[in-house]
Structure 1
Amino acid sequence: MPRHNLKGRSRRAEPFVMLPRYLLECPSWRSLSAQARALYVHIAVRYNGRNNGCIAFSVRDAAAECRLAKDTAARAFAELVEKGFLELAQPGAFSFKTRHAAEWRLTALPCDRTGAPASKAFMRWRPPDPPRSETRSQKRDAPVPQSGTVTPFPRRKAC
């Protein structure tokens, strides 16, 4: 049982990752792949309450932690960025003498680097409209080609 201080707060509370219901029920979360969901949880684990915008996580680290291939982890990062769950705060690079991992920002939380409020861009994402098929009336009303535009079949030569 944890001990509490004078203000009623526990001294050694176990850290946890909170996934609010509005996040889990939005269309963008439901459209995520299983790999992207797992990656989001692993990034959220690295958030300690004061490092949003400075969460260092490379594609190779993500592949190792989530047990994915490197290219699959890169696609999961791209999916999370496309649907508004992550923003790239600082790109990673191999051009330094030491490796430099990309730094990420969770859009569900306020940014600790810049002080910007939570953008929650994932709430504005909508699935793309399905392609519309041509109706019978649209096919019927299509313009008919004028005579002379279609070349006749070549005639066979007599033997």
Structure 2
Amino acid sequence: MCRFLLFLLLIAAACSPGPRKGLQMEPNQLLRQSSDLYRTEPSQPIKSVGATFLSGQQVVIRYPDGRTEKVPRASVWGYSNKKGKIYRIYGKTEYEVVTVGDVITYEQQSTRNTIVGSQTTITTVIETFYSKTLDSKIFSSRKKALNDRGSS
């Protein structure tokens, strides 16, 4: 019986997915459009991308030399962070681009606090989203993304 359980454990360990590695590119890059994902030469590096809190219509771009620039949110497709992970800015939200294939897969990580009595539990939640192309609408369902007629 112990051998059987050990065998099942080994199979489960072999079949379990390893750590997820999303799509990556040159670190600290601003992406003005989706085709910038495939450019061969890096552009001017950025330090960070942030939103202006009073108006969600602009994005603040900070450069390593200390300069800041406010640009319309609609003129920025996304960016790559210091680890090279790619993020798409869609609406007022950022989505990590995980895979590019017949459907684009995105992930969004958030934390949720649950209070039970005097204890607070913090849980990390990873939600998955999809779009038909890099520039099309993002859906929470793969089926809806595939049926999206707004882009092709």
TM over 0.5: no
Q: TM-score, normalised by structure 1?
A: 0.27
**Larger fraction in helix:** 1
For CA contacts below 8 A with separation 6 or more, give which structure has more relative contact order.
Answer: 1
- Max Rg structure: 1
**Larger fraction in strand:** 2
